Amino acid sequence: MGSMRRVFVCDEVPLFPMENRSRLMETGGRPCLMKKPGPMAAISLDSAGGGRIRSVRHALRIDMTPMVDLGFLLITFFIFTTRLGEQQALKLVMPIDGPPISTPQSATLSVLLSDKGVFAYRGELAAARQENRVARTTLATQTGLGQAIRALQQQLAAQGRQKELLLLVKPSKSASYDQVVRALDQALIHTVTRYTIVDADAEEEALLRER
């Protein structure tokens, strides 16, 4: 048998890349086997698993910060729009049963409401038709019913009778609920303290059919 030679593998010796071969190098009097350096990062193989690649599982983390911001924005939006959409109710007090209230015809303003339009006149209808004082108008504040209310208020204020103004809202069978509400809004805008809702009589219904 030949003599056996002991070979030491030295990791401390600087390694130089070689192609398909090994090299012996004497260091400090002892021969060392020069190894080819491996890569800096390598995939770890599971020896017990038949060479399978060991996968590293990372915990899934979802950032919910944008969703929280969006939720607060939606809540703020709904609160703001709900506040703007709040309806204002007009308190309507109907007169109690009793003797009729005496009101001068010169201080009375009647408003007829129908699907054909809005008509206004002062005093009694018969006298207003003879004098051609039944005017077609609108429920506008500046040029319609609001203007007619202001004109009568100024006339009564000049005589010291501003508190005698009485607004009669007379919806016909074809009138809409919106017309009644807008007519009452004009009474509220112009601080009319005496107003009421009464049905249009037969003569007024005939007038509306003619128009």
Which residues are registered as beta bridge partners of 112?
A: 119, 170
Q: Output the CA torsion sign for 194, 200, 201, 206.
A: positive
Q: What is the pLDDT of residue 95?
A: 65
Distance between CA 199 and CA 170 in Å, rounded? 5
Residue 138 reports pLDDT greater than 90: yes
Contact (CB, 8 A) for 6 and 12: no
Distance between CA 201 and CA 133 in Å, rounded? 18
Q: What is the pLDDT of residue 88?
A: 63
Distance between CA 46 and CA 182 in Å, rounded? 85
Residue 115 reports pLDDT greater than 80: yes
Which residues are registered as beta bridge partners of 8?
A: 32
**Top-level CATH class of 105-210?**
alpha beta
Residue 55 reports pLDDT greater than 80: no
Supply the Cα-derived Rg of the chain in whole angstroms. Answer: 50
Distance between CA 202 and CA 87 in Å, rounded? 35
Q: How far separated are the first and last CA of the chain, in Å rounded?
A: 138
Q: What is the mean pLDDT of residues 49-56?
A: 61
Mean pLDDT of all residues in the chain? 76
Q: What is the pLDDT of residue 98?
A: 72
Residue 192 reports pLDDT greater than 70: yes
Closest CA to 148 of 130, 114, 126, 122: 122
Q: What is the pLDDT of residue 21?
A: 43
> Which one has a higher pLDDT value, 17 or 147?
147
Q: Where are the domains of the chain?
A: 1-38, 105-210
pTM value is 0.55
Q: What is the DSSP letter of 77?
A: H
| Most confident of the following: 72-76, 79-83, 150-154, 197-201 | 150-154
Q: What is the mean pLDDT of residues 151-165?
A: 91
